[in-house]
Amino acid sequence: MLLQEILSFNEQFVENKEYAPREVTKMPKKRMVVVSCMDARLIELLPKALDIHDGDAKVIRNAGGKIASAFDSVMQSVVASVYDLNADEIFLIGHHRCGASQTNPKGTLQKILDRGVASPEILSAIKHAGVDLEKWLFGFNDVCDSTQANVDLVRNHPLIPKDVPVHGLVIDPHTGKLDVVIDGYKALNSETK
């Protein structure tokens, strides 16, 4: 069982004091916050490609690295990182070949029904309560467009200071190569002219 494996490893980890080299403060040393995808290929690759280590950055991950709305939990974390954790720059990083660009909301809803988690009546009630589950489950069509949309949302957010650079990048999940969609410094410079 996976939980038992984790607990067994953790017992040895603590007993051997393997946490000692990791002791850092909660304030990001590089004063940055990163929003990216939860893709398993990025667990080690993303920090290595960005040259970030424990204590360097606040990292927020979800399906597709998507910011769903101006006041969702991802945006709440970004705002907290800027004001409470001294992050001076925001990096919004999508990745090529992202599963969120290949979502099938109808298929996901069918799987929910097939597993008996919800009935058609419950899904209908959710719809009548104003929640569009297909829209909620949908990822995006194009990673660069999604990254641009995230940057626009954050840059125009009423609680994000206008002097904070908001960068949009896309990483290759195999090589770690970063492509710049939006250079936050250039965007700031063009706004001040």
Question: What b/e string do you get for 164-183 counting C-beta neighbours within 10 Å, with b at 16 or more?
Answer: bbbbbbbbebeebebeebbe
H helices of 85-170, in order, are 105-114, 120-128, 133-137, 143-155
- The encoded tokens of residue 3 equal 């939980």
Q: What is the pLDDT of residues 27-78, one digit of tens each?
A: 999 999 999 999 999 999 999 999 999 999 999 999 999 999 999 999 999 9
Looking at residue 70, what is its pLDDT?
97
Q: What is the pLDDT of residues 81-96, one digit of tens each?
A: 999 999 999 999 999 9
Is 80 exceeded by the pLDDT of residue 151?
yes
Average pLDDT, stretch 2-23? 90
Annotated binding site for Zn(2+), which residues?
A: 37, 39, 95, 98
Is 90 exceeded by the pLDDT of residue 19?
no
Q: Please say whether the beta carbons of 167 and 180 come within 8 A.
A: yes
In order of their start, the domains of the chain are 29-102+141-183 (3.40.1050.10), 104-138 (no CATH)
Annotated binding site, which residues?
A: 37, 39, 95, 98
What does residue 74 show for φ and ψ, rounded to 5 degrees? -65, -50
